[in-house]
Amino acid sequence: MAARKPNEARIVITGIGLASPNGNNLTEFRKSLLAGKSGIQKFNVRYMGDVLAGICHFDPLKYQKKKELRRGTRAGSIAIYCAQEAIADTKLDLACLDKSRIGVYLGITEHGTVETENEIYEIKQFDYDVKYWSHHHNPRVVANNPAGEVTLNMGITGPHYTLGAACAGGNIGLTQGLQMLLLNEVDLALGGGVSESTGSFGIFAGFKSEGALASHPDPEKACRPFDKDRNGVVVSEGGCIFVLERLSDALKRGTKIYSEIVGYAINSDATDFIFPDKERQIQCIKLALNKAGISPEDIDIINTHGTGTTEGDPVECQAIRELFGEHPHAYINNTKSFIGHTMGAAGALELAGNLPSFEDYVVHPTINLAHLDPECPLNNLVINEPKKIDKVDYILNNSFGMLGINSVVIVKRFEE
Amino acid sequence: MTKEQIKDTILEIIAQIIPDEDLSNLKSDIPIREQVELDSMDFLDIIMELRKRYGIEVPEDDYMQLATLDSSAAYLEPRMREL
């Protein structure tokens, strides 16, 4: 075990705000995950027609004026909803806080794609005359937009930026928030990830051209990680933002503590633009375990990154098998099977979906698994039905992305 | 378009740009930006809408002409008369 850290050096999650295709808050999301309820639907995309996607159904006007909505981006809107919900969840009154000591750190897969496509579509109607290009374009597409919109909406004057980290973004936004608290740069961090990728035909078309866009006659069965008949990614939008604090501050105000973040790691494959690398995934998980001062057998739940692609899923399965053994102690699940790939939000959202396991001792399953692919043999994979288990002390969350970026976060049941 | 129709058009454009504002009591002879929250980016939206809908170019030097509904109607009437 690692030496006991002072409470000022222990970072805890004290609030959660989320927008998922199958829930607008943690209670709804968890209920859907335990009920096997998917959030995937048919969705019409410019130039492509009907595709399958995960769309969020929260009310953006809960926290934004109509003008803010018109001027801003969908990612900004999702981020504002999640950030406000997270602050409300932890029962903090923003008016009583030093807003210069709050930081906003959001992982994104990409940003600006949606807005650029929209503008090009608009000026096409004017024979590509650029005098019709919107003056709102630049503030919408700057990479810090989603985090910046949060600060504008909430009057936060501390640092804000996004972290471009492909589909590992959610874990990395969370990690950045933790690090800034440890560096004493801020006293409260809003860390997580967001995605508006469903607004971009290019994202769907790109996956289709790669032969990696999921299709199925029943939208809810389209995302099927580890299944022999999986055929690709379901693109989704979503967001999840955590309130992170030093344990000393959280204890002082006596707030609910969801869990402590004890391990985290980020590394790079340095091998390929798209295809993952087993060795670097193993290394990343090991780095996170080392940081937490624990061994593979201490982990009780593993949330897999598995996106449902032919190439990606087996690599992660091999990494887990090699590290956790043929008969691991940990139970393994997958959240994308319900909500699709929420891209920059995935790491954060999928972690959030698992946090209630510390209280209810139930592991949500991976759904849509009819025939386990022989290339993906995982013992202790929780298939199609939730599983009650005896011990949940540590949850490990994998989140990997293109260009070979890997991220792992380990959270621990909170104990003083 | 008559001057009254032009004013209605401008009002309709403004309603789209600042949908949270109540425009029912907007006085036509007082600068719009003194009566409702309409910032410079919103103002550029009005210019863009006139361009997109009617092909009307308002040079930057003439932006002041669009300060009130009355002055907007007077300035735009010669260009929108035939619409």
Measured distance CA(A194)–CA(A107) in Å, rounded: 6
* Dihedral of alpha carbons A318, A319, A322, A324, sign: negative
Domains and CATH numbers, chain B: 3-80 (1.10.1200.10)
Closest approach of A131 to chain B, Cα-based (Å): 9
Residue A1 has pLDDT above 60, yes or no: no
Domain span including residue A225: 12-253
Question: What values do phi and psi take at B12, rounded to 5?
Answer: -65, -40
Catalytic, out of A305, A317, A364, A376: A305
Interface test with A, best of B13, B22, B52 (most A CBs within 10 A): B52
pLDDT (tens digit, 9 = 90+) per residue, A375-404?
Answer: 999 999 999 999 999 999 999 999 999 999
Nearest residue in A to B52, CA atom: A132
Does residue A51 sit within a domain? yes
Strand order in the sheet with A49-54: A40-45, A49-54, A235-236
CB within 8 Å: A135 and B48? yes
Confirm or reject contact between A137 and chain B (CB < 8 A). no
Catalytic, out of A167, A240, A317, A376: A167
Catalytic, out of A111, A160, A341, A364: A341
Measured distance CA(A366)–CA(A381) in Å, rounded: 8
Measured distance CA(A384)–CA(A392) in Å, rounded: 20
> A243 and A268: one domain?
no
* Sequence-ordered list of residues with C-beta below 8 angstroms from that of B59, at least 6 positions apart, any chain: none
Tokens of A147: 């985090």
What number is the ipTM of this complex? 0.95
Nearest residue in B to A67, CA atom: B18
> A271 and A377: one domain?
yes
CB within 8 Å: A126 and B44? no
Pairing of strands A188-195, A102-108: parallel
Structural domain count, chain A = 2
> A191 and A293: one domain?
no
The CA–CA distances, whole Å, from B82 to A153, A210, B3 equal 43, 53, 12
The CA–CA distances, whole Å, from A30 to A273, A342, A356, A410 equal 34, 16, 7, 19
Residue A327 has pLDDT above 90, yes or no: no
Does residue A83 sit within a domain? yes
B19 contacts in A (CB within 8 Å)? 66-67, 70
Confirm or reject contact between B15 and chain A (CB < 8 A). no
The CA–CA distances, whole Å, from A86 to A3, B11, B15, B71 equal 31, 38, 32, 47
Residue A4, pLDDT score: 81
Is A216 in the active site?
A: no
- Give A99-140 as a DSSP string: GGGEEEEEEES--SHHHHHHHHHHHHTTTT-GGGS-TTHHHH
CB within 8 Å: A70 and B19? yes
Give the CA dihedral A289, A291, A294, A296, nearest 10 degrees.
0
Q: Mean per-residue pLDDT for A66-84?
A: 98
Domain with residue A361: its CATH number is: 3.40.47.10
> A328 and A370: one domain?
yes
Is A341 in the active site?
A: yes
Tokens of A171: 């874990």
Chain B contacts in chain A segment 218-277 (CB below 8 A):
none
Q: Mean per-residue pLDDT for A327-342?
A: 96
Measured distance CA(A146)–CA(A142) in Å, rounded: 9
pLDDT (tens digit, 9 = 90+) per residue, B23-72?
Answer: 999 999 999 999 999 999 999 999 999 999 999 999 999 999 999 999 99
Confirm or reject contact between A71 and chain B (CB < 8 A). yes
Does residue A3 sit within a domain? no
Residue A413, pLDDT score: 98
> A80 and A176: one domain?
yes
pLDDT class of A89 with cuts at 50, 70, 90 = very high
> A249 and A273: one domain?
no
Domain end position, chosen among A253, A285, A306: A253
The CA–CA distances, whole Å, from A82 to A88, A93, A214 equal 10, 16, 27
| Radius of gyration of chain A measured on its C-alpha atoms | 20
Domain end position, chosen among A218, A253, A288: A253
Out of A66, A126, A136, closest to residue B19 by CB = A66
Does residue A1 sit within a domain? no
Which residue is associated with the tokens 């399958």? A52
CB within 8 Å: A132 and B18? no
Confirm or reject contact between B17 and chain A (CB < 8 A). yes
Strand partners, A260: A12, A412
Closest approach of A21 to chain B, Cα-based (Å): 28
> A241 and A310: one domain?
no
> A74 and A164: one domain?
yes
pLDDT class of A3 with cuts at 50, 70, 90 = low
Q: Mean per-residue pLDDT for A194-211?
A: 98
Q: Mean per-residue pLDDT for A309-317?
A: 97
Tokens of A184: 């004493």
Is A111 in the active site?
A: no
Closest approach of B62 to chain A, Cα-based (Å): 17
Number of C-beta neighbours around residue A262 at 10 A: 20
**CB-defined contacts A:B, below 8 A:** 22
Do residues A52 and A215 make contact, with C-beta atoms less than 8 angstroms apart?
Answer: yes
Measured distance CA(A287)–CA(A271) in Å, rounded: 19
CB within 8 Å: B20 and A67? yes
Does residue A323 sit within a domain? yes
> A68 and A89: one domain?
yes
